[in-house]
Amino acid sequence: MNGTLRLRIAALLWGLALAAVLVFFLFPLYWMLVTALKPRAEVTLLPPSLLPYVQFRPTLENFAAVLTERPQPILGGWVALSPFPAALLNSVLIGGTATVASVLLGTFAAYAFSRFHTRGAGDLLFFILSTRMLPPIVVVIPLFLMFTELGLRNSFWGLTTLYTTAGLPFVVWMMKGFFDEIAREYEEAAMTDGYSRLQAIWRVLLPEALPAMLATAVFVLIFAWNEFVFAQLLNPDRYSTAPIFLYSVIGYGRVEWARMAATSVMFLVPVVAFTILVRRHLLRGVTFGAVRR
């Protein structure tokens, strides 16, 4: 009796603690969503209003404004929309391509580091990681000069290559750790079963590595998606990404909080959608319980 009561109290306290943590992490998102739905005058009220329908009438005018202000003709002049949809598309294409490229290249590099005895492998791995040790602002000037020289500014491939390179160290390190955990006997079994090494990797290793690759991809995508400094300096005019547009929404003289919030909500959607899509794989975990070490 006493014991069950104590258990219940413990469960209740645990639940409360979880709820508190959840509120702490989700409140900024909620505030952003609520702000996006507020009429302009409502935004800067103190204390802030947080409950739509109760404290204010929600409106979609901010979303409409973000999508239609400063219109530019698209689809051969059929419609005119703000630069935001195009910027979002650029982000999807550049971020997506960079993510796929760095996860693929990085996975194979990681495989080589994990499986082959390479002279100076440790130094190489450190070197790969060290490319990420400098803050972007330090390398942006040489990069700016390089990109100008090579005609890569305001181009799709310039920024995509840069994001691929930036994502690679993370992928190599993550996937190497993962491959180190997978017994090499799996590929060896496939190789003695009559397959080449590449076929063995493709048919045996990659199905098992998929959850790790997707988890890694989420992080690489989030980096490329949110990156601002390089995008602003290297692609300000063409192929500019969503964060650059977000920056332009801030406005002159006053800060357009509601529109920024509306832009941010739309900006979040693709990454959240991707994460939800791969969530099943992320949770599936590693099924390599079949090998006892």
Contacts to another protein by CB under 8 A: 183, 185-186, 188-197, 199, 204, 207-208, 287-293
- How many Å from the N-terminal Cα to the C-terminal Cα in the chain? 45
Cα(143)–Cα(9) distance, integer angstroms: 59
User: Shortest gap between Cβ of 197 and another protein (angstroms)?
Assistant: 8
Q: Which helix (H) or strand (E) holds 79?
A: strand 79-81
Q: How many CB atoms lie within 10 A of CB 108?
A: 15
Of 231, 216, 218, nearest in space to 90 by CA: 231
CB 227 within 8 A of CB 240: no
User: Shortest gap between Cβ of 288 and another protein (angstroms)?
Assistant: 6
- Taking the least distance from each CB to another protein, the nearer of 121 and 146 is 121
User: Shortest gap between Cβ of 111 and another protein (angstroms)?
Assistant: 16
Distances (CA, A) of 274 to 29, 121, 284: 18, 34, 16
Distances (CA, A) of 256 to 5, 42, 62, 211, 293: 52, 12, 10, 40, 59
- Taking the least distance from each CB to another protein, the nearer of 41 and 198 is 198
